[in-house]
């Protein structure tokens, strides 16, 4: 599978300063834990129908907050981080999920995660992905946005952190703008842009 970015100190993102990860090599399997406040905000601005799948759960930073807000959550990750089941979300064998999907995907496979999530849920279900706002740009994503426009893009007014290897204590302040991208499968209109935080 083609990756749009392998990361590392020579990455394009370092060169253009579009990432907060530029001082470091990438974390193992792109593990950056999401600041819990991001998911608390999501639960205030969007409603979901359980069960929710968190397919790249890491140590459960998103899953735990979803559960705290009353949702049933199934958590999986390619790596065993002591939370959830071990499973490859992009596996061909993963063909169906009858519910909504919420995650912060590995950045190198963000588009693949969005496409896979939309492929395996029924019409009307939601996919919410915590993504860099730069996900909006790029020729490679033209057909994704044309065929599957997000229903809403929620821009975080204040910076939220994603901590390498889950280490919030030693992670620097965020230089990256993030948002929640929300798809409703079957939606074909123009996306709304909104703000939170
Ligand atoms: C950016 S981290 C986010 C972790 C968690 N969602 C959070 O927000 O705190 C991405 C996670 O995706 C996992 N991952 C990478 N490739 C995967 C795959 N093919 N299937 C499932 N999980 C994967 C990594 O192990 C890592 O834990």
HEC per residue, 25-73: CCCHHHCEEECHHHHHHHHHHCCCCCCEEECCCCCCHHHHHHHHCCCCE
Q: Say how many domains are in the chain.
A: 1
Does some domain include residue 67? yes
**Digit-coded pLDDT (tens) for 166-183:** 889 888 777 899 999 999
Q: How many CB atoms lie within 10 A of CB 42?
A: 22
Q: Which helix (H) or strand (E) holds 110?
A: helix 110-120
Best CA proximity match to 185, nearest among 142, 140, 145, 151: 151
Report residue 81 CA to chain centroid gap.
Answer: 18
Asked whether residue 178 is domain-assigned, the answer is yes
Q: Which atom of ligand 1 is nearest to the CA of 89?
A: 20
153 occurs within a structural domain: yes
Which residue, by CA, sits nearest to atom 19 of ligand 1? 88
User: Which domain, by its residues, includes 150?
Assistant: 28-196
Residue 166, Cβ neighbours under 10 Å: how many? 18
Give the count of beta carbons closer than 10 Å to the beta carbon of residue 87.
16
User: What's the pLDDT tens digit per position in 18-48?
Assistant: 343 444 466 778 899 999 999 999 999 999 9
Q: Take atom 26 of ligand 1 and give the residue whose Cα is closest.
A: 31
Q: What are phi and psi of 15, to 5 degrees?
A: -60, -45
Ligand 1 and 178: CB distance under 6 A: no
Q: Residue 44 sits in a domain of what CATH number?
A: 3.40.50.150
The answer to whether the CB of 7 is under 6 A from ligand 1 is: no
- Long-range CB contacts for residues 141-150, cutoff 8 Å, separation at least 24: 141/111, 144/111, 144/114, 144/115, 148/114, 148/115, 148/118, 148/183, 148/185, 149/187, 149/188, 149/189, 149/190, 149/191, 150/181, 150/182, 150/183, 150/187, 150/191
Instruction: Give the residues of the chain that fall short of pLDDT 50.
Output: 1-24
Residue 12 lies in a domain: no
> Is 5 within a domain?
no
In a domain, 89, yes or no: yes
User: In this predicted structure, what is the pLDDT of residue 25?
Assistant: 60
The pLDDT assigned to 6 comes to 35
Q: Is 160 inside a domain boundary?
A: yes
For residue 171, being part of any structural domain is answered with: yes
Distance 76 CA to ligand 1 centre (A): 9
**Sign of CA pseudo-dihedral 43, 48, 51, 56:** negative
Ligand 1 atom with the smallest distance to the CA of 61 is 9
Please report the pLDDT score of residue 51 as a whole number: 94
């Amino acid at each position: 599978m083609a990756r749009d970015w392998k990361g590392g100190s020579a990455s394009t993102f370092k060169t253009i300063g579009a990432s907060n990860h530029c001082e470091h090599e990438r974390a193992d399997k792109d593990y950056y834990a999401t600041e819990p406040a991001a998911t608390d905000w999501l639960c205030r601005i969007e409603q979901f129908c359980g069960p929710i799948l968190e397919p790249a759960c890491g140590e459960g930073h998103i899953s735990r907050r979803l559960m705290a807000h009353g949702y049933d959550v199934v958590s999986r990750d390619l790596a065993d981080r002591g939370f959830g089941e071990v499973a490859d979300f992009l596996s061909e064998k993963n063909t169906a999920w009858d519910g909504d999907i919420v995650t912060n995907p590995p950045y190198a496979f963000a588009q693949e995660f969005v496409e896979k999530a939309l492929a395996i849920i029924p019409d009307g279900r939601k996919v919410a992905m915590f993504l860099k706002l730069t996900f909006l740009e790029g020729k490679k994503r033209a057909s994704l946005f044309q065929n599957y426009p997000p229903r809403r893009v929620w821009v975080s007014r204040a910076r939220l952190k994603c901590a390498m290897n889950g280490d919030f204590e030693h992670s620097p302040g965020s230089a990256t703008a993030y948002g929640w991208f929300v798809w409703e499968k079957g939606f074909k209109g123009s996306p709304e842009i909104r703000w939170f935080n």
